[in-house]
Amino acid sequence: MEMNPNNVRFLKFENYRWNGVEVKKYKDENKTWLNVCRQVIAGKAGEKIKFHLRYFEIEPGGYSTLEKHKHEHVVICVRGRGKAIAGNEVFEMGFMDVLYIGSNVPHQFVNDSDEAFGFFCIVDAKRDKPKLLTKKEIFNLLRDEKISKVIRIPETYAGLK
């Protein structure tokens, strides 16, 4: 739904969907993640803001890409529970928990529960593209027992080749 002539945009919420906002798959490439969808709620419909507000939802057993990038982001859990790997830490996220992830911090979100894990993610509108981790970076993370129990790296992850 685009901005109206009065420079106002209202999105009706129902069951973790916003009227007029398209539900898309997480990313175009699909070899580094599983069962994730996204909605861009603000920032791409004519608003004059310098950030994007996105909603991601990870189904049970799903996970986001293990990645890093220069831009920072703030994540706010609003549905279910899930785990977030950020740097060399694992955080158990629940309703209204907030996680700030700084520049170039490796991160991944994992849903090991039996219900959807949904969160808002706030990022700069102009930002760099995420990068996959190198094999060395992955193995450094895997040395940490608490991370190795949570992290999800499919065999098709390009950093392993």
* Catalytic positions, written as ranges: 121
Host H or E run for residue 52: strand 51-63
**DSSP reduced 3-state for 83:** strand
Q: What is the helix, strand, coil percentage profile of the chain, to 5?
A: 10, 40, 50
| CA gap 132, 106 in Å, rounded | 9
Rounded Cα–Cα distance for residues 57 and 29 (Å) = 17
Q: Which amino acid is at 156?
A: T
What are the tokens at 21? 């906002």
